[in-house]
Amino acid sequence: MSAVRGLAGRVRSTAVLYARGARLAYAHRPGLAAGTLALLATTSLLPVLQPWLLGEVVDGLGQGGGPATITLLAAGYALTLVLPALLVPVRQSLDSSLDAHALGAVDRHVLDAGGRLVDLTRIERPAFHDEAQRATSSASWVSRFGILTQQTAGQGVTVLGLLLLVAGLSPWVAVALAVSVVPHLVAYRRMSWQQWQTMADQSRPAREMDYCVRLTTSADGAKEVRVFGLGEWFLRRYQRLFRAAYGEVRRLRLRHLAVSAGFGLLHALALAGGFWYVAHQAGAGRLAVGDVALYVNAVVQLEAGLFGLSMSPGMVFELGLYLRQLFAFTDAAAPGIALPPAAAGLPAPARHHEGVDFTDVAFTYPNASAGSEPILRGVNAALPAGTVTAVVGDNGAGKSTLVKLLTTMYDPTAGYLRLDGRPLSAYDLASLRASTGGVFQDFARFALTAGENIAVGAGDATATPEQIRAAARAAGADSVVATLPDDYDTPLIRTFDGGVDLSGGQWQKLATARGLLRDAALVVLDEPTAALDVDAERRLFDTFRTLLAGRTGVLVSHRFSTVRMADQILVLENGVVVEAGSHTDLLALDGRYAAMFEMQAGRYR
């Protein structure tokens, strides 16, 4: 009984899987899908009509049938031969349109899943990128859902009709021919599984090979690749990865070829058996001339249909594996941070009243190895409302992790993070994010125009040209835009017509303008001047105090000329705040901050 229930559960889950695939493929173009199905019904029945009409024509000629009847039957038979060729362009056009729309639907489905990943909990896991690679590789297969399923259904209709015709000769011949295809069906399903599993196992090497190709053909790292002569090195690396990744694929395909050849021989024997039976019945006087024409044609068509049908279900099965892979990725695209119940989140304040408090905050990355030390260990700190707090420390001290927690990219492993006395998880996430602005150390270089690179800082809101220009002026990016051929309409990527690339400092100014565009209650500046020269840094910080007036600011920087402007400074060491106070207070304390400041200041004496 348990086995029956298990089988029923698997059948039900498979039906649900393919139903989801059908909705994904057809939902946006139901009319196109209906037209394709109508054409499928027509083309599927033609191979069944062919042998029957041929038999009627031959019988009519042999038995002296009426000329009009014979002519009509012959015309019908000729139409069954010509019509498939005439319908090929129509079928190809419909299939191409359906495939394109289905591919767009799959891409939108993946993009929607990406939008649900509102934090970095999954994205920064190494395994996530292999999963994403497999999901995107599924897109081309899933986009063919309509074509593959309709092809299989059409072949099924054709084979069923031909089996009924052959059953008129002998039910046992029809059964024997149908049974002959079962081993091929089972073997092809197994081969489809092996092929899918092999390709899934190669997702990591495939990503590495793609990286080798992109690195040697794009601007990223172009100077180092050429100066150090790394083109040949990456080529050898690619070839080594290719041999390792696709050696198994090649061996698998050779095994499949041998198996297919063996089953091709089986189908040939089945066809020969069908011919022998027709010839035997004709020799015994049990078949008229028209019957011989009908059954020979039907056996040929049936065996060809069975051969195609033996592979199509395997392809549909493989399609199901890719569907399962795609939906497993998109269904798992859910927030990894605590969120309030729907419609129960608090609106984020336009300006902070108390500020942000860290209470015994500890954090360990989810993908950290067992026994790893936490990145943050019992952080206690207050970021008072309307003030600027700087965070300093050596590399690896936990500064960037602190920023990720503050911007709700992760939840603390332990402890509490509160805004105006309430947990961050009590606030509506969209509202909280909309009240946060900033410049990040690893800021994005969007392949957009200069104006769009700034405007995206407004999020869902639409930034006006005046707001974009004001943010550019505040960040010093207006001087960068003034040098561009089309000002704010210049694409910032050389691979686009009319596009240009910017220096690191120029990009940082645009990223700063983007971060300052919205009227945010919390502004996070993570190394905002790392790529700026001294004069640009001075001009930017001359305006920062005005820009941050009334806002809560967090500044992460290695430059103490930048840090000293803050109202308070937190010194992080090994994931713990070891000192806190103003620049003057910490110098007077003569501790870790004073030592770091003196070390950096000494370089300029």
Quick: pLDDT tens for 224-282. Answer: 777 777 778 888 887 887 777 676 667 766 776 777 777 677 767 777 777 787 787 77
Asked if the domains 352-366+373-435+522-605 and 439-519 are classified in one and the same CATH topology, the answer is yes
Q: Is the pLDDT of residue 158 over 90?
A: no
Is pLDDT of 205 > 80?
A: no
* Identity of residue 491: P
Q: Is the pLDDT of residue 124 over 90?
A: no
User: Rounded mean pLDDT of 156-165?
Assistant: 81
Q: Does the pLDDT value for residue 575 go beyond 60?
A: yes
| pLDDT above 70 as % of the chain | 89
Backbone angles phi, psi at 485, to 5 degrees: -60, -35
Structure confidence at residue 324 (pLDDT): 85
Mention the CATH class of domain 439-519.
alpha beta
Task: Dig out the tokens for 47 from the structure.
Answer: 């191979």
The answer to whether residues 419 and 353 touch, using CB atoms and an 8 Å cutoff, is: no
Contacts of 462 (CB under 8 A, 6+ apart): 455
Cα angle 297-306-147, degrees, rounded to a multiple of 5: 110
What residues does each domain of the chain span?
A: 2-208+250-331, 352-366+373-435+522-605, 439-519
For residue 11, the SS3 value is helix
* Amino acid occupying residue 211: Y
Would you list the DSSP string of 450-474? HHHHHHGGGTTSPPPHHHHHHHHHH
For the beta sheet containing 568-573, the strands, ordered from the edge strand earlier in sequence to the opposite edge, are 436-439, 522-526, 552-556, 388-392, 568-573, 576-581
Q: What is the dihedral of CA 450, 456, 462, 468, to 10 degrees?
A: -40
Strand 436-439 relative to strand 355-363: parallel, antiparallel, unpaired? unpaired
Residue 82 binned pLDDT confidence (cut-offs 50, 70, 90): confident
Cα gap 96→106, rounded to integer Å = 15
CATH class, range 2-208+250-331: mainly alpha
According to DSSP, the β-strands at 552-556 and 436-439 are: unpaired
Question: According to the model, what pLDDT value does residue 463 have?
Answer: 86
Q: What fold, for 352-366+373-435+522-605?
A: Rossmann fold (3.40.50)
DSSP 3-state of 301: helix
